[in-house]
Structures are given as C-alpha cells and as structure tokens.
Structure 1
Amino acid sequence: MAVETYTIHPTNKYNRPPPPSTIALHGLDLLSSPIHIRNHRFFHRPTSTTSDVIDKLKSSLAEALELYPPVAGTVQANEKGEVYIAMDAENILGTPFLVEMKDTPYAGDTEDLSPRTVVLLPPSSSTLAVKVTQFSCGTIAVAASIHHQVTDLRGFLDFLELWAQLARGETIDFTKIPDDWSHNPGRFFSGLIRESTVPTPPPPPPFMVLPAPATGPPPFLLAPSEISRWKFTKSSMERLKSDFSPSASSKEHKSDLWISSGDVLAALLCGVITRARKNANVARLQGRSSLESQTERIAMAADGRERSPQGNMSGGRYFGNFNPLWSATVSRSDLLSLTCESASRVALAIRNALNLELSPEAIAYKISFFEAPQNIKPPGRIVWSADVILTNWCRFDLQGPKLDFGWGKPFYATAGGGSTYPPGYCMMTQEKDSGDVFVMMTVEQEGADGLKADSLLNKYATLVPVHPSC
C-alpha cells in the first residue's frame, strides 16, 4: 500500500512564552555531522480503530511541537559557517508524518520502517520526522528520527515522553519542560567555567584542534563494516561482572578497585574488537592508534546532565547535546588477552577514566574548551578519534510506561534498523523488564568472522540472528 504523508504543525493551545527566533548551536552539538537519532517502538494491536490511533498521534504531536519549539525548527548555517536552529515562522516547515499499512505480518525491525533512511540529513531538513506502520497482524510501529545536532538521546526521550503523555491525555508538568532553550550548558556549571580571557586550555582527550576546518571524517570511520548483534542475559551479565572484578576477598582489595557492570561489558567488547582486528591484520588507517604506541584509545559518549554541581540540569531542564565524550587509553596486550585478569585491568582503566573525565570540574573544562574563540573560529576545527567507540543506552528505558501512547507500552524498541555504521562501534541497550542487555557491534568486514568466533565473547553472549516477532 502507498505511504500517506501528512505535515504536522505546532498548535497554539498553551500560550507559552515565545521562544527565541534562533538558537546558536554549541560545540558539543556539532561534535557529530548532521546525522539523526532513530527510535523505533513496537506495540501490540490497539483496541481503538487505526484511524483513531493515527488521529490521536497527530494531534498530540502537534501539541508536543508547540511545547518543544526547537523540534519544530530547522538547522541552518550563516555565511560565517555558524550553525543555529531557526524557529521563525519562515523556517517552521512542519514535521513529516508518514503512515503505511502493510499487508504482511510483523517480522522484526527493518530499515524501511524509519521515516528517513539517509545517513546524513540534507540542509534545511526537518528536525523531526515520524513514520507509523501497521502490519497485517495488528502490530504498530512508531518510528521517529531527530536531527542529532539539535539534541542527544536524553533530550529526544524527553520529547518523546511528553508526546506520549499528551497522547494519554494526562496533565503536563511544565517544570520538566525547559524555560530556557539556549544551548549554553555552562550556566549549569557556574563557578567552574573559565572566562574567555583565559588562554585557550589544551585539548582534553580525545579532542584536538586542527589549523583548518576538517573536510570530512577520518578514513578509519569510512571503512566498510559488518554488523552483528548479541544478547547478554541478566545472569550472564552478573557472571561477567563477577569474573572480571578484582577479588573482594583479596587482601589488596580497595574501594578504588570497584568496577561497574558497564565497565566490564565495555572491557569485553573492546577486547573482542581488538582481537578480531589483530587476527585479520586489519589496516590501521588514519585516526587509529599507531602500532608503536602499544595502546588503544576507547571513547564513549556519556550524558553529563546529572554531573552539574547543583543537580539542576537533569529532569528535562536542558534540551541539546550534553554528552561530554570521554576517552581511555588502555594496554593493547591486555585487550588482546583472553584472560579475565587482563579484562579486569581494562575495566579498571575505563572506570578510572570515567571518574576523572566526568567530574564536574572536568566537564566544565570541556565546556570552556568548546567555547574558546581560538578553537571555534572558524568552526569545524575540533575533531576527535578513537580505536573503539561506545554508546551505552542501558540507563534509558526505551520501552517503558513513559512511552505508552495510550494503548500499552512498547513490547520492543530499537535504535532503528540501520545497516551503516563505522567499524569499531558498539551500541548497548537494556530491556528493563528482564535485565537482558543487547549489543550491536561492528568491525571491519575482514574481521567479522573472527569477532563472531571470539571465545570470551561466546562465553557470555549469544549471537542474535533475527529480531523478535509478534
């Protein structure tokens, strides 16, 4: 059946204070290219008719767009290359809302469920796009795509949860909607931010400042990769943490040897990718650590909102990107080893780097670095690289009751059915009801077979060949 396309505009129902006509994007917003974050959620058949479901989704989305003006705007750039969100009437073009009725039953997530399948969003793309698909078995998929330079996953979920709350007809708590839409994270770290008159701080890891704007991503990010997906049950995660943790009975055990489940999972995954590359003699393209260094660089995005000194940045108070990327340099020999002792050392290195680089003082330092005129004029000169890139979404409940549109919470949720990711990338999500963790992992094509055969990985995880069905 043909796809029907609607255009959703914000309502004028709530009489909120008028937003600014433009919002300048911060350096943390511009860390990524104009890519998009996707969220696909799958629901069992509603009791309402399909037309009623679609009408409710459209009307509640229009209200959500009024309450979140940046989501109704478009990303633009001026003649100086400065990027901003335009929210004047001329640039509120409406949100595409696609509807498709399939004559086949649901059989898992696929690329065509997304409202847009490009990797890079063209200039003047809508900030948000939505596609609703109903399968012949009654299952409904609600897929949303948001411009990553406008916000990160936490901001995206704040918006999606508000949309769902409106669809359920519940009273809105306006204290959880930002009253200041500016992308100025430094206001939450007052007293810790360097003044612009202070000399430019040296780049915090893993960043560097180029003499001229970058013309494209580093070569190692463009190498063809193969994706595999893995499941760690709750019990296998507990076993992994026990095996990789320093012995609590050891006389040398100290509190600073504590590591989290996330640390040990990251250590395992980084080792798997490093071993697969080594065994397949994967070329070290520009941007990777040198062979002579004997170390590998790990980078991970982490939501920094809860790190603000007064604790007033979380709870929906900041809409933008606030993932102050942190980095750990770890021993290559430990990553190549298949022993739990080596993996434990990697996990400790990850924990120590996280504690150091996500302190309020370190985050404030990164904000100063991204705001220093010497670093951002002209824009596009701050870059970063790593051997392994991690994104941990396990703290977020992608299929919980806050995402119920009024006919039950999702039975399944994904980051989209995409098939294009750089090599050496891992995304982790958790199913809150079961405690199971799911990992999407990539490696260069020549290392794929070795990755899937890794004995330490297979000790704790099982390969996921297909997605859940109705």
Structure 2
Amino acid sequence: MAISNDYHVEVVKTEVVLPASVIQERILPLSNLDLAVPPVCVHVFFCYEKPPQTSFASVVSNLKSSLSRAFVSCYAFAGRLVSHGVGDLQMVCNNKGAEFSEAYADTCLTQVEFCNPNGAIEGKLVPQLVNDSEGNGTPVFAVQVTQFNCSRIVVSCTFEHKIADAFSANLFFSCWTNLSRNEPIESITPSFTRSILVPRDPPVYCSPIEEMYMKVVPSAESNMQIAQPALASRIYYLSADDIIKLQLSANQHGNSYTKLEAFSAYIWKLLIQSQNMEDAQNCNISIAVDGRSHLKNIGMPANYFGNAVLAPFASARAEDIKKEPLSWSAKLIHDAIYSVANEESFQSAVDFIEISKPSLVFPKIYRNKDEPYIIVSSGLRFPLYKFDHGWGKPRLAIYNLPYTSGYVMPTLSPYGDGSWLINMNLLIDQINAIESHPNFFSRLISPNIFCDQKNV
C-alpha cells in the first residue's frame, strides 16, 4: 500500500464546546515557571481503530459531551490567555470553551506517513489556536476529530505550553476519557493551586539557576518567539533489547544510570559523531525535570496543573563527547539532572524569575545558535495508551512540538513490552547525518503499527 503525505482533509464543522455548567469567572495567575516556558503550542495525536458498533456521528457527539463535562473540573482549558503588555500574561477562566472541529480525510490511516509527523500531520490534522473574535484573548486548547476512509479515527489536540506541561495535559486527557466512559474522575481531577510556586520573601536563588536561565529584555516586535529554522521530524522505534544494551554500555565500570540517561547520552553522542564539528565546539543537552515529587514536602499536590519543570543542561566539547565512552556522557547528564532534583532548586528558579522582572527569563540552552543542542523531554511515565473514550485504546499516540529545534521525546510504544517510540525534531542536516551513521537505530515506525500483530 502506497504511503503518502499528499492527502486531503476537509473540516466540515467547527463549533465551540462550552463547559457543561458555568463556573465563576476567575483569574488563574501564571506561575513564574509558566512564564519561563517558550511561546510554543504542543500537538497531541491519538489514533484509534474503527469504533465497533457505533457511528462516527455518535463518536463525535460523545466526545463533545464528555469534553464539555471535563471543562467543569479542568476549567483552565476552557479559558483565554490575555496579554496586558509584553511579557504580562494572565489566564482568564471565563467559560468561553474550546473549538471542536469535525473532519474527514480522503485516504486510509495506514497510508499516512506517521513516521514524519511534520510532513504528514501538521497542517492537516492539527487544530489551530486563533484569537477570539470578541477580543477575549487567545484560546489555549482546541480539538480536531478526523475520520479516515478506513473508518479509523484520529483525535488531535493543540494546547498552549505556557498553560500546561505534558503531565498536566495528561491529567486532562485522563479526565476526558473517563467521562467519555462515564467513570469517576475524583482521583485525577487537576489542582490549580498557585500557593506553592510563589516567590519567597525576600526572593533568593542559588547559582546553578543562573547557569540554567538567561534574562531577556522583552520587545513588542519579537514577542519572544523562537526562531523557526527548517526542521525535520521523525518517529523511530527502539526495542527493549536495544534500550537495555544502551544502559549496559553506560553502566560499565560499576556505574548506575537510568535507561533515560543512557539513551540521552547515546543520542547526544551520536549527533556529535555524525556531524563535522570543530573539536573545541561546545555541545549541549537539556533534560526536563518535573518538580512535583520534589515539592510535595511543601504542599505541591501530585495532580498540580501548570508547568512544574526545570531545564538543566550539560555542556561539553565535541572532541570529548566523541572520544569518551558512553558512561562519560551519561555522568554529565546524570549530574545535570540531580543538580536540580530538589526543593531548593525549584524555589530558586521561582525567585530568580521574580528578581529578573520586568525582563523575561528564557532557557539558556537557546542562547547560542552555533552550539548544537538537544532537549530531551521524557514521556515514558505518561499513560498514553490508556486513553480510551469507550471504543478502544489508541493504536498510536504522539506528542509533537513542530517548531522546537532539538526536541527529542521518548514515549512507551503501544506494544507494552518495554520498547519505546522516539519523536525527534531536528535540523534537516542533523536528521540526515544521524540517519546515515552506522550506529543509529534506523527503524522508522511504519503503518504496520496499526496492524494486530507486532510489526514496526
């Protein structure tokens, strides 16, 4: 069966889904960690088999009804992001709801090149966040449900990253799917408390935070947008055996590194080895660290909704990354992670951002475009394949940040056997270079991922 990105999607209906019951309008302050997130939207795709014994119209009706009920508890996604000046943002929870689009694709889902999401998905299956025509601000969430010729369905969502990290979005998806199945949501309802991520009095920060973030004077012209170079996106399959081999290689000489640390070291090393770089050139890798577990002693709820992530990074010369063993790179990554895996680092970050105002704060890894970098954001603990709306679990689930260069996100595969899917957005020449490297795991996912038998 021919694989192609040349297919047409027709949006036949778009409406605004409102909360099932009106809540009192309120302002949900953005925390300082929210403000430090780059201005990007996150796209999420859930691919489902043909729903048995129900029509597409019934599926759409159920999705809209359960989404409306989910907005009652997850009211932030039904609000608007309002700007009162450069760098001055507020989340207004005003019950305005989110756009819900119904669409049809003129091909079979198995003919779509999902291994290349930027080419195959973006612009076709992705809902856009459009400014409110009534001047109420910018929506922060949107949904598009697309039926293919084969009757398979893709539920795709877009959300504003400044409002939520991936953990928060998954809380929302859990609530939504539970309500679709008429199951309780009390144990997974998001918490919007903002009493934890507030500056101390007086604010004070430790020096590692200053190494992680940079102050940027805001300007109305730039609006702090990230440069959008020509990127290529790919989704690869990595077997459980390959992951274990990477970990064993990193753990030689009595080391003890996690699978994520070993994989991150591997992809960092591979990127540097596959390109012609000066030996003295600095190369960086950032690993997202979730603060929820580190802040629980001061009252952060496990179901905190918002951004609770720091972005420490390791830096080394290209020569050292290339010549030293995998364990050497893994140690740099391990040390970077654990330098911020504590309560003080997160409180220091909040204070540093406060002290920096009115300047904006931006991850320092973006500061020098001439220094290659990778940003690894792990989705390995997210239950993507449990998001069942009542007609079956997803066959494929994807997080994509199409405009974020250097983005690498491993998630569990749908097979449940310890294998991973790796979504990478890199510069085109970087993708070409690493795919041609003899040590690269060159297995793109294929449409066979939708088949009953395991065959990637």
What amino acid is the match of 1:352? D
- Do the aligned residues in 1 keep the contact of 2:247 with 2:262 (CA within 8 Å)? yes
Q: Which of 310, 320, 338 does residue 334 from structure 1 map onto?
A: 320
1:163-215 per-position Cα deviation (integer Å, ceiling 9, x unaligned): 00001001231x54245x2444436xxxxx74236589674332122456596
Q: Which of 19, 25, 33 does residue 28 from structure 1 map onto?
A: 33
Q: What SS is found at the alignment partner of 2:309?
A: coil
CA distance in 2, matches of 1:104, 1:58: 24
CA distance in 2, matches of 1:142, 1:125: 22
- Do the aligned residues in 2 keep the contact of 1:334 with 1:343 (CA within 8 Å)? no
What amino acid is the match of 1:73? G
Q: Report the counterpart of residue 427 of structure 1 in structure 2.
A: 409
Q: TM-score normalized by structure 1?
A: 0.81
1:283-320 per-position Cα deviation (integer Å, ceiling 9, x unaligned): xxxxxxxx75x54222122222111242853532x111
Q: What SS is found at the alignment partner of 2:252?
A: coil
Q: What SS is found at the alignment partner of 2:35?
A: helix
1:299-357 per-position Cα deviation (integer Å, ceiling 9, x unaligned): 122222111242853532x11111111112234323223xxx52210001111111122
- How far does residue 218 in structure 1 lie from its aligned partner after superposition? 9.2
CA distance in 1, matches of 2:241, 2:363: 39
* Unmatched segments (≥5 aa) in structure 2: 1-9, 115-120, 367-371, 452-456
- How far does residue 103 in structure 1 lie from its aligned partner after superposition? 4.0
> Percent identity of the aligned residues?
21
Q: Which of 43, 46, 68 does residue 41 from structure 1 map onto?
A: 46
Q: Confirm whether residue 296 of structure 1 aligns to residue 283 of structure 2.
A: yes
What amino acid is the match of 2:351? S
CA distance in 2, matches of 1:348, 1:364: 25
The worse-fitting range, judged by mean Cα deviation, of 425-434 and 439-448 is: 439-448
Q: What SS is found at the alignment partner of 1:415?
A: strand
Q: Report the counterpart of residue 71 of structure 1 in structure 2.
A: 77
Q: Which of 338, 349, 358 does residue 332 from structure 2 map onto?
A: 349
- Do the aligned residues in 1 keep the contact of 2:129 with 2:138 (CA within 8 Å)? no
- Do the aligned residues in 2 keep the contact of 1:229 with 1:441 (CA within 8 Å)? yes
Q: What SS is found at the alignment partner of 1:111?
A: coil
Q: Report the counterpart of residue 287 of structure 1 in structure 2.
A: none
Q: Counterparts in 2 of 1:352-431, with a 5 A limit?
A: 352-372=335-355, 375-376=356-357, 378-386=358-366, 387-401=372-386, 403-416=387-400, 420-422=403-405, 424-431=406-413
Pair 168,371 (structure 1): closer, same or farther in 2 beyond 3 Å: same
Pair 405,218 (structure 1): closer, same or farther in 2 beyond 3 Å: closer
Count how many residue pairs are aligned between Structure 1 and Structure 2: 424
CA RMSD of aligned residues (A): 3.1
What amino acid is the match of 1:230? Y
Q: What SS is found at the alignment partner of 2:275?
A: helix
Q: Confirm whether residue 9 of structure 1 aligns to residue 18 of structure 2.
A: yes
Q: What SS is found at the alignment partner of 1:404?
A: coil
Pair 62,121 (structure 1): closer, same or farther in 2 beyond 3 Å: closer
1:110-134 per-position Cα deviation (integer Å, ceiling 9, x unaligned): 2245342589999933111001111
Q: Report the counterpart of residue 462 of structure 1 in structure 2.
A: 442
CA distance in 2, matches of 1:224, 1:342: 32
Pair 351,224 (structure 1): closer, same or farther in 2 beyond 3 Å: same
- How far does residue 38 in structure 1 lie from its aligned partner after superposition? 1.5
Q: What SS is found at the alignment partner of 2:276?
A: helix
1:221-279 per-position Cα deviation (integer Å, ceiling 9, x unaligned): 543233343221011111111122123xxxxx4xxx31111011001111122233325
CA distance in 2, matches of 1:343, 1:276: 15
- How far does residue 160 in structure 1 lie from its aligned partner after superposition? 0.8
CA distance in 2, matches of 1:148, 1:384: 18
- Do the aligned residues in 2 keep the contact of 1:29 with 1:149 (CA within 8 Å)? yes
CA distance in 2, matches of 1:239, 1:383: 32
- Do the aligned residues in 2 keep the contact of 1:113 with 1:131 (CA within 8 Å)? no
Pair 201,273 (structure 1): closer, same or farther in 2 beyond 3 Å: closer
1:410-454 per-position Cα deviation (integer Å, ceiling 9, x unaligned): 1111124x75442x3322222161221122334433444321122
Pair 115,224 (structure 1): closer, same or farther in 2 beyond 3 Å: closer
- How far does residue 405 in structure 1 lie from its aligned partner after superposition? 0.5
Pair 185,379 (structure 1): closer, same or farther in 2 beyond 3 Å: farther
Q: Report the counterpart of residue 186 of structure 1 in structure 2.
A: 197
What amino acid is the match of 1:171? P
Q: Confirm whether residue 99 of structure 1 aligns to residue 81 of structure 2.
A: no
The worse-fitting range, judged by mean Cα deviation, of 298-307 and 448-457 is: 448-457
* Unmatched segments (≥5 aa) in structure 1: 188-192, 248-252, 282-290
CA distance in 2, matches of 1:365, 1:415: 29
Pair 449,101 (structure 1): closer, same or farther in 2 beyond 3 Å: closer
Q: Which of 427, 435, 439 does residue 444 from structure 1 map onto?
A: 427
What amino acid is the match of 1:384? K
Q: Report the counterpart of residue 270 of structure 1 in structure 2.
A: 268
1:80-120 per-position Cα deviation (integer Å, ceiling 9, x unaligned): 741010123xxx43311111133421124422453425899
1:344-401 per-position Cα deviation (integer Å, ceiling 9, x unaligned): 10001111111122122222221221233xx02x242545225323233332335322
The worse-fitting range, judged by mean Cα deviation, of 51-60 and 430-439 is: 430-439
